Amino acid sequence: MLAAPPRLKRLAAAFCCATLTAVAPLANAEDGGERSLAQMASASVTDAATSAWATARDLTSSALELLGVRYKWGGSAPRTGLDCSGLVQYVFQQVTGVTLPRSAKEMSRVGEQIALGDLMPGDLVFFNTRRFAYSHVGIYLGDNRFIHAPRRGREVEVATIDNSYWQKHFNGARRLVGVLPEMMPALVSEAAAAPLEAPSSAAPRP
């Protein structure tokens, strides 16, 4: 099983910032209520980050189950074959229920751009393999490995991103889990909808 990377803390911080932004309109509430809401939001950060990591782990596990599926240009189902973007779209649909764009180039415009050194499992990695940018896509597994459907005559396989070929053709990476609204834990909405608790020192109303 993949171990959760230290960079998961950055994701938790992002969720925390999103939560505090969402509850900013409540700034005029009583001090005790503000403290209660802040404590609740902070307590939710760990759960949100854990949920995002679990989703990423499920994505990689689901993708690995497709090892050996034959490549088929335009293929979108394991029983008949998959191409690179068909593999990614199928895995995300099965695990998250989110339908991604069909082509690798369209997928390259979704989510948040990520540097090579910041890759986490579940991120999408893109390559120029057909003489135009973002013509190939795979799912990063961790430990410099990614899974993809390479080309005709091959099967879904795991490759190493530090291989000289893939390094030369690397176009970039995108993060979707915890970034796309459809893939973010319901942290902000729950925090904003929660009622404020009255300060413990407040006198009861008649």
Choosing from 16, 17, 136, 169, which is the catalytic residue?
Answer: 136
Three-state secondary-structure class, residue 186 = coil
Work out the angle between the directed axes of helices 31-64 and 84-96 (0-180°, nearest 10): 130
Amino acid in the structure at residue 180: L
Give the rounded distance of the alpha carbon of 22 from its chain centre.
21
How high is the pLDDT of residue 21?
41
According to DSSP, the β-strands at 136-142 and 76-77 are: unpaired
How high is the pLDDT of residue 160?
97
How high is the pLDDT of residue 17?
41
| pTM > 0.75: yes or no | no
Catalytic site includes residue 136:
yes
How high is the pLDDT of residue 24?
43
Catalytic site includes residue 16:
no
Question: How many helices (H) and strands (E) would you count in the chain?
Answer: 6, 8
Read off the pLDDT band of 64 (50, 70, 90).
very high
| Dihedrals phi, psi of 108, to nearest 5 degrees | -70, -10
How high is the pLDDT of residue 154?
97
Choosing from 16, 17, 148, 169, which is the catalytic residue?
Answer: 148
Read off the pLDDT band of 32 (50, 70, 90).
low
Which residues, in sequence order, are CB contacts of 106 under 8 Å at separation 6+? none
CATH superfamily, region 8-193: endopeptidase domain like (from Nostoc punctiforme) (3.90.1720.10)
Read off the pLDDT band of 133 (50, 70, 90).
very high
Catalytic site includes residue 148:
yes
Q: How many CB atoms lie within 10 A of CB 115?
A: 8
Q: Please give the C-alpha separations between residue 58 and each of 8, 139, 170, in angstroms, as whole numbers.
A: 16, 12, 25
In the chain, alpha helices (H): 8-22, 31-64, 84-96, 104-107, 164-169, 187-193
Read off the pLDDT band of 181 (50, 70, 90).
confident
Domain boundaries, the chain: 8-193
Residue 31 CB-half CA count within 13 A: 3
Is 185 a residue whose pLDDT tops 90? no
How high is the pLDDT of residue 45?
54
